[in-house]
């Protein structure tokens, strides 16, 4: 880590990472703000960190904090006010034969095989396609988070049916947080990424959680721009949450952005 830790009003120690290649725009340099990973209160403070626009990756709770760029905008869905649009209703209808199961975050051989197939198809050559069991546990489960695996399966018989997708989801008292979703690349036409978010919203509503956190929206990014399709949406401006405005990431912060491409949802980072 780079700079000295800076305590905030709740005595949380924050660090700046060193500069590294941006995970969204590889030609850019990024830095992150990270909560002290050695703090024994990290699990307790995690719900508050989500409200401050942070995310979890393994045991690391971070927020992009890059010089001269605010392209990454934390967004969340207010669950009770969400209504699926026409395209999302078609997705639900198309997948009427899919069952949702909420499981403990314990890796199975079936999940690992699906994860590796997904990475090979969607992230070939990106550094993740060599992930195995150790990386799966480190990246998706971690040691302290209270998470679940939401499985989407074809309806049986036999039961359980074929595993189509897994949405790794953190659970807090008032919210769910979509950490990462992977799915069978042979069934991309089902729109499994979209379906996973719709099912997470259903899950949150059923358990009376107020929000589903979706990670970072990035205007014009082929794999991150989809989040604006879930209405209503709230975004975090660094101080407070408010109604989402697609213009809040101005062009001066998004220079040289390649054009967006039609793509199903992949990651929730």
CA distance 78 to 98: 25
- In this predicted model, what pLDDT tens digit does every residue of 160-217 receive, in sequence order? 899 999 999 999 999 999 999 999 999 989 999 999 999 999 999 999 999 999 999 9
Q: Which CATH number does the domain housing residue 93 bear?
A: 3.40.630.30
Task: Give the model confidence (pLDDT) of 79-127 as tens digits.
Answer: 999 999 999 999 999 999 999 999 999 999 999 999 999 999 876 655 5
Q: Any idea how long the chain is?
A: 269
Q: pTM of this prediction? A: 0.87
The tokens for 31 are 């830095």
Q: Does 106 lie in the same domain as 14?
A: no
Looking at the structure, do residues 141 and 91 belong to the same domain, yes or no?
Answer: yes
Predicted local confidence at residue 221, as pLDDT: 87
Query: What angle is formed at CA 186 by the lines to CA 181 and CA 192, rounded to 5 degrees?
Result: 35
pLDDT bucket at 5, cuts 50 / 70 / 90:
very low
The three-class DSSP label of residue 178 is strand
What's the domain range around 54? 6-74+217-253
**One domain, residues 143 and 113:** yes
Beta strands 211-217 and 175-183: pairing type? parallel
- Provide the pLDDT for residue 12: 77
pLDDT of residue 268: 63
- Is residue 99 located within the same domain as residue 24? no
Residue 247 predicted with pLDDT over 80:
no
Q: What is the Cα Rg of the chain in Å? A: 18
Query: Do 91 and 27 fall within a single domain?
Result: no
Closest CA to 216 of 30, 54, 73, 39: 73
pLDDT above 50: residue 8: no
Give the whole-angstrom CA distance, residue 67 versus residue 2. 14
Residues 112 and 27 in one domain: no
Q: Residue 52 has which token pair?
A: 């401050």
């Amino acid at each position: 880590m780079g700079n000295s830790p800076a305590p905030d009003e709740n005595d949380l120690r924050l660090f700046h990472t060193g500069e590294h290649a941006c995970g969204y725009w590889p030609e850019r340099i990024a830095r992150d703000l990270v909560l002290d990973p050695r703090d024994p209160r990290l699990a307790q403070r995690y719900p508050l960190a989500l409200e401050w626009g942070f995310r979890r990756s393994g045991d690391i709770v971070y927020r992009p904090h890059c010089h001269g760029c605010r392209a990454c905008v934390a967004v969340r869905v207010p669950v009770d006010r969400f209504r699926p649009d026409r395209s999302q209703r078609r997705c639900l209808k198309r997948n009427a034969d899919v069952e949702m199961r909420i499981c403990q975050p314990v890796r199975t051989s079936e999940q690992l095989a699906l994860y590796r197939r997904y990475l090979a198809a969607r992230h070939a050559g990106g550094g993740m396609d060599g992930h195995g069991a150790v990386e799966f546990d480190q990246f998706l489960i971690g040691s302290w988070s209270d998470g679940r695996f939401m499985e989407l399966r074809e309806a049986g018989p036999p039961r359980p049916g074929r595993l189509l997708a897994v949405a790794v989801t953190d659970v807090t008292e008032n919210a769910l947080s979509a950490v990462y979703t992977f799915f069978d690349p042979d069934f991309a036409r089902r729109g499994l990424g979209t379906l996973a978010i719709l099912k997470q919203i259903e899950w949150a509503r059923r358990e009376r959680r107020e929000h589903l956190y979706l990670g970072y929206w990035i205007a014009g990014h082929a794999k991150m721009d989809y989040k604006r399709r879930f209405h209503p949406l709230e975004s975090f401006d660094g101080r407070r949450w408010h109604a989402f405005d697609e213009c809040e990431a101005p062009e001066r912060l998004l220079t040289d952005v390649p054009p967006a491409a039609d793509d199903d949802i992949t990651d929730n980072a």
